[in-house]
Amino acid sequence: MIQRVLVTGGAGFIGFHVCRRLLSAGYDVVTLDNVNDYYDTKLKYDRLEVLKKWDNFHFHKIELADRPALENMYAEEGIGASDKVIHLAAQAGVRYSLKNPDAYINGNIVGTYNLLELSRKVNCPHFMFASSSSVYGNNAKVPFAVEDNVDHPISLYAATKKSTELLAHVYAYSYGLPVTGLRFFTVYGPWGRPDMSLFIFTRAILAGTPVPVFNYGDMERDFTYIDDIVEGIVRLKDQPPVPDPAFDPFKPNPASSWLPYRIYNIGNHHSVKLLDFIAVLEQHLGRKAVIDLQPIQMGDVQKTYADVDALMHAVGFKPKTTIEEGIPSFLEWYREYYKVEL
C-alpha cells in the first residue's frame, strides 16, 4: 500500500525539498501553501512546477487560517488515520514580524491550531511541525540543547514558534495526538529563500553592492544544509513519540513529556562566524565583498549553536555538511536558475 503524507508549505524552501524527497521515494504527497508574496512568488511557483512532474503529487492553494478551506481539503483528499502530517508552512522572518505581526499570529498560531484540530479528529498517527532555533532567544549557554529553558523569546516570530510547541503539547495531553517539534537552525541550500543571508550576500557580492553585516560582525550562525534538514525530518517521520518513562515531574524536561511529545534540534552543531561564512562565499565567487558593518537589528540573536544529541540518540543521525560543501552547491543552483556567470 502506498503511504501518503500531508506536507504543509510545499511551495516553500524546506517544504519543497521534503516533498521532493518523499515523492522520489514513492510516497503519495498532498501539500498546501498560500503562495504569499513575502518573497518572489515566481520562485515558489517554480518549485511547485518541479513537484508537479510526479503523478503522486497533489497541491492545494489554501490559507492555514481558513478553517473551512482546510476542512474541505481534508475531506476531498480523505486525510485519515493512516496519513502523517509534516507541518512546515509558516510566516517566516524575524524582522518582518516587527512590521506585520498579524501575519504571524494568523499563519503560525491560528494555522497550527487549525491543523492540530483537524488532525486529531482523523486520528493522525504522527503530527510533526516546524519550530525554530529562534525560541532560544539570547540564551547564554551554548550549544542550545532541547532540555534548555526557552521562556524568553526576543521576537514575535520566536514567540509564535514557542506557542506552537505549547499548543502541540496540549493536544498530546488532551487527545493523545503524537506530536514532534523540530527546531531548525539557519537552513540554506539550493532553492533557498531570497530573504536569507546566503542569498542576500551572493546577490550583493555579484552586484558589487555593500553586504550588510549586523552587530558589527560579531554574529555566529549554525548554518545547516537543506539535505541534512530533510534527512532528519524523514528519519523522525516514522518514529512517532511515546510517553517518556524517565520524565520527572519534579524536574521536567522541556523536550519530552509523560505524553507522546518530543522536541528535537536539527542543526549542524557548528557555529560559524558570519565574516568567515562570507570569506568562503568570496572564495567560491572569486570576488571580494564590500562589508557594511551595522548595529544588531531588533529581534536578532548574536549566536546560534545546536546540540543535536537528542536527534542522534533517536535516529542515529546528525547533520554534517560543511559550508565548504554546501555553499558551492547553492551557487551551482543559483547560476543555473538565475542564468548568471559566477
Catalytic residues: 157
Angle between helices 274-285 and 197-207 (to 10 degrees): 50
- Report CA torsion sign: 305, 309, 310, 315: positive
DSSP string across 54-74 = STTEEEEE--TT-HHHHHHHH
Q: How far apart are CA 273 and CA 278, in angstroms?
A: 9
CA angle, residues 315, 316, 320, in degrees to nearest 5: 115
Q: DSSP code of 149? A: -
Q: Give the CA distances from residue 136 to residues 111, 182, 270, in Å, rounded to whole numbers and listed in that order.
A: 22, 13, 16
- Report CA torsion sign: 208, 211, 217, 222: negative
CB environment 202-219: b (16+ within 10 A), e (fewer): bebbeeeeebebbbeeeb
According to DSSP H, which parts of 131-267 are helical? 156-175, 197-207, 226-237
Q: How far apart are CA 72 and CA 62, in angstroms?
A: 10
Q: How far apart are the first and last CA of the chain?
A: 46
Q: How far apart are CA 152 and CA 155, in angstroms?
A: 9
- For the chain, give the longest Cα–Cα distance: 60
Q: Which three cell numbers stand for residue 113?
A: 491550531
